[in-house]
Chains A and B, each alone.
Chain A
Amino acid sequence: MQVKSNDYPKESARILREEPQVRLSVTGATLSFDRNRRAAYAEVDAERWRDWAEGVKNHVLTHLDSYLEQAERTLTANGVRVHWAEDAEQAQKIVAQIARAAGVKKVVKAKTMVSEELGINPMLEGMGIEALETDLGEYIIQLLEQPPSHIVGPAIHLNLEQIRKLFHERFGTSPDATPEALASVARKLLREGFLQADMGISGGNFVVAETGTLALIENEGNIRLSTSAPRLHLALVGIEKLLPRFSDLAVFLSLTARAATGQRLGTFVSLLHGPRKASEPDGPEEVHVVFVDNGRSSVLADPQAWETLRCVRCAACLNACPVYRQTGGHAYGYVYSGPIGAVLAPGLVGLEQTQPLPYASSLCGACYEVCPVKIPIPRLLLAWRNRAVEEGMLPRFEKAAIAGYAFTMTHPGLYKLAAKALRLLPEMALDNTVLPVLKAWTQGRAGLEPSPKSFRELWEEGL
């Protein structure tokens, strides 16, 4: 996937100015997710669960090499073919080879963020293979040729009106069709896809090293259909997704659902152990798991950022974030957005391409408070900011501005003079003609009206 994170400041300002419905839709959806999460956490000993989940993930990550080898053994024993991809290019090659060897013409996709990360759809289309997204939200954004704007709800930036319009134009549904009517149109089209496809591509929420279990969580049933109807199932799984014991699933499945949507469990949880057995009436004949590195081993080597690999992709931090809520995920210019995206993206693709993201936060700490595996996101945001400064990535004016500010604040005479000077500026002084460097901020905002007297002056006059 093309990384456009360096445009974050401009792009977020543009979305706020030009697409005000995004903020309304995203705010509504995330606040509702977060309310549900809070209730679902309150029902259990969430603090104990989070501490425990953090501990299990830390154990897996600090023994990742041996767990990966164990997982390969158990998956293989289950009849699954295991592949390894160091980067997106290798992953694409593996998927292409498997598809070509099996004569695949049509693929159903089961909402996988790793696939977005690796650019699997464009690659398949380049081979003349149709790739149909089957999660309702993913299907909608595929029609619009947009990337997902949220890890769990990829189309949460769209409101009902926009989806009505889209379906009216594409499928001739009534302009005021109900959500049920729209969903049933999609159901019919996608049902044909499930029954015609030769291959289903999924991600993986967890892989249990002990039993070779691939665990998948969802609410619609599209993931289970994609992994059971076509004759081939291929799962793209990040190398960090392992769990040691089958019994660990009990807490991880429930904790992930509680954090993501406030459910006790996803409506459909699938625990897969390989292809159809001879005695079974249906199911895929071939199952492939591709373990994907694509930057993860470098993140693991990082003395601070490695903790981001605990992430279970529940998006609770997006839902809790007052900054994400303003723009949704597109502004972040990367497949993973919000607080976790802001710390994951620099680790996976490098700070050079993602430098503004660690600044897309007020450091309020809500992301850490809700994280089911206690990733210290605020601390990591600061760590990435420090590195950006150390590596001289910030614009030169910012350094000069900070130095100037520090000098002014430590020289009372100068401070007094500057305060007076600011108040004497004409009313529109803060528009973009005077301060072009702040254009992204000043555009679309009214100029400031300074108080006629400073606080110091008022104080001296006895307020």
Chain B
Amino acid sequence: MKERILSRVHRALEHRPKAELPEPLTPPKVSPDETLKLFQERLGGNGGEVVRLAGLEEARSWLAEFARAFSGVAVGTTLPDVLKPPLPALPPEEAPLGISWAIGAVAETGSVIVSSAEGRRLQLLPPTHLAFIPQSKVFGTLAEALAELKNQLPSAIALHSGPSKSADIGQVMVRGVHGPGRLIAAIVAEPGD
């Protein structure tokens, strides 16, 4: 089957002039000063929420307050211990809140990037998804983020650019259709940022 398809493709191309591969297209860069502001603006525009935290310590106290509204949590495997809230641990299919440690974010598209190493279900099944992002990993453009990711590709890279949504019922936008209806991106600054 493979050989027959490939030979048909090969024959189809016999007299076709070969087209050259264009050089990669590099969209305009975002200046570092603008990156965080743009991320906040774009993810906000997509229906997500953005919180900026000065460091892990501030993140911990912010989280303590935030977590009070939830009865349990599912956390990602690489989430620093300091960012695990004092809530009962639940499997992702039962947890009202999933917390992940993102491997990056993209300002121009308002996207949070989470690896499968973190766990796949916890990013999707809980109605609220909170993703912590190290500030140094907020990239200006998708092209820059992909270039960085390419060095080590996990079995699944998930880009989240807002809450789950659908307009399939009478063209009315509904949130939280299958995935989380609420996405909160918490950017954590590290010393030196």
The reply to whether the CB of A249 lies closer than 8 angstroms to some CB of chain B is yes
B164 CB to nearest chain A CB (Å): 4
Total A-B Cβ pairs within 8 A: 255
Closest CB pairs A-B (n = 4):
A221-B179, A160-B170, A137-B168, A301-B12
A208 CB to nearest chain B CB (Å): 10
- Whether the pair B18, A63 counts as a contact (CB closer than 8 A) is yes
- Among B18, B24, B170, which residue has the most Cβ atoms of chain A within 10 A? B170
The reply to whether the CB of A140 lies closer than 8 angstroms to some CB of chain B is yes
A161 CB to nearest chain B CB (Å): 8
Binds B, one of A8-16, A84-92, A323-331: A84-92
Among A68, A72, A280, contact of B117 (Cβ-Cβ < 8 Å): A280
Residues of B within 8 A of A140 (CB): 168-169
The reply to whether the CB of A385 lies closer than 8 angstroms to some CB of chain B is no
What number of A residues sit within 8 Å (CB to CB) of B? 100
- Whether the pair A191, B178 counts as a contact (CB closer than 8 A) is yes
Residues of A within 8 A of B163 (CB): 267
The reply to whether the CB of A155 lies closer than 8 angstroms to some CB of chain B is yes
The reply to whether the CB of A6 lies closer than 8 angstroms to some CB of chain B is no
Among B155, B157, B176, B178, contact of A134 (Cβ-Cβ < 8 Å): B178
Q: Which of B142-173 contact A (CB under 8 A)?
A: 142-143, 146-147, 149-150, 153-172
- Among A25, A160, A228, A274, which residue has the most Cβ atoms of chain B within 10 A? A228
Taking A179-B169, A280-B116, A283-B155 as contacts, is the C-beta distance between A291 and B5 under 8 angstroms? yes
Residues of B within 8 A of A48 (CB): 25
The reply to whether the CB of B111 lies closer than 8 angstroms to some CB of chain A is yes
Residues of chain B at the chain A interface (Cβ within 8 Å): 1-2, 4-6, 8-13, 16-22, 24-25, 27, 42, 46, 77, 93, 106, 108-111, 116-117, 119-121, 124-125, 141-143, 146-147, 149-150, 153-172, 174, 176-180
Q: Which residue of A lies closest to B12 (CB)?
A: A301
- Whether the pair A62, B165 counts as a contact (CB closer than 8 A) is no
Cα separation A183 to B44 with both chains bound (whole Å): 23
Query: 29 pairs across A/B with beta carbons < 8 Å?
Result: A25-B170, A29-B171, A55-B21, A59-B21, A62-B19, A64-B9, A65-B13, A68-B9, A86-B4, A90-B1, A136-B168, A137-B166, A183-B176, A187-B177, A195-B93, A213-B153, A220-B165, A221-B179, A222-B178, A224-B179, A264-B109, A265-B109, A267-B46, A269-B158, A273-B155, A273-B157, A276-B116, A282-B121, A306-B12
Binds B, one of A240-248, A391-399, A418-426: A240-248
The reply to whether the CB of A300 lies closer than 8 angstroms to some CB of chain B is yes
- Whether the pair B6, A68 counts as a contact (CB closer than 8 A) is yes
Residues of A within 8 A of B149 (CB): 271
Cα separation A248 to B161 with both chains bound (whole Å): 19
Q: Which residue of B lies closest to A156 (CB)?
A: B171
The reply to whether the CB of A56 lies closer than 8 angstroms to some CB of chain B is yes
- Whether the pair B13, A64 counts as a contact (CB closer than 8 A) is yes
Taking A250-B146, A282-B119 as contacts, is the C-beta distance between A153 and B21 under 8 angstroms? no
Q: Which residue of A lies closest to B168 (CB)?
A: A137
- Among A263, A271, A282, which residue has the most Cβ atoms of chain B within 10 A? A271
Q: Which residue of B lies closest to A44 (CB)?
A: B27
- Whether the pair A270, B158 counts as a contact (CB closer than 8 A) is yes
Q: Which of A186-229 contact B (CB under 8 A)?
A: 186-187, 190-191, 194-195, 211, 213, 219-222, 224-225, 227-229
- Whether the pair A224, B124 counts as a contact (CB closer than 8 A) is yes
Cα separation A78 to B5 with both chains bound (whole Å): 23
The reply to whether the CB of A32 lies closer than 8 angstroms to some CB of chain B is yes
The reply to whether the CB of A163 lies closer than 8 angstroms to some CB of chain B is yes
Residues of A within 8 A of B155 (CB): 78-79, 272-277, 280, 283
The reply to whether the CB of A362 lies closer than 8 angstroms to some CB of chain B is no
Residues of A within 8 A of B158 (CB): 224, 268-271
Q: Which residue of A lies closest to B48 (CB)?
A: A267
- Whether the pair B146, A301 counts as a contact (CB closer than 8 A) is no
The reply to whether the CB of A253 lies closer than 8 angstroms to some CB of chain B is yes
Residues of B within 8 A of A155 (CB): 168-169
- Whether the pair B156, A253 counts as a contact (CB closer than 8 A) is no
- Whether the pair B19, A84 counts as a contact (CB closer than 8 A) is no
A117 CB to nearest chain B CB (Å): 16
Taking A187-B176, A283-B155 as contacts, is the C-beta distance between A59 and B19 under 8 angstroms? yes
| Residues 144-169 of chain A, each 1 if its beta carbon lies under 8 Å from chain B, else 0 | 00000000011110111101000000
Among A28, A224, A245, A281, contact of B119 (Cβ-Cβ < 8 Å): A281
B183 CB to nearest chain A CB (Å): 9
The reply to whether the CB of A254 lies closer than 8 angstroms to some CB of chain B is yes
The reply to whether the CB of A58 lies closer than 8 angstroms to some CB of chain B is yes
The reply to whether the CB of A266 lies closer than 8 angstroms to some CB of chain B is yes
A93 CB to nearest chain B CB (Å): 10
Cα separation A58 to B169 with both chains bound (whole Å): 37
- Whether the pair B5, A297 counts as a contact (CB closer than 8 A) is yes
B48 CB to nearest chain A CB (Å): 9
A176 CB to nearest chain B CB (Å): 12
- Whether the pair B156, A283 counts as a contact (CB closer than 8 A) is yes
Cα separation A229 to B122 with both chains bound (whole Å): 11
The reply to whether the CB of A440 lies closer than 8 angstroms to some CB of chain B is no
A397 CB to nearest chain B CB (Å): 37
Residues of B within 8 A of A219 (CB): 164-166
Q: Which residue of B lies closest to A194 (CB)?
A: B178
Cα separation A442 to B21 with both chains bound (whole Å): 52
- Whether the pair A163, B166 counts as a contact (CB closer than 8 A) is no
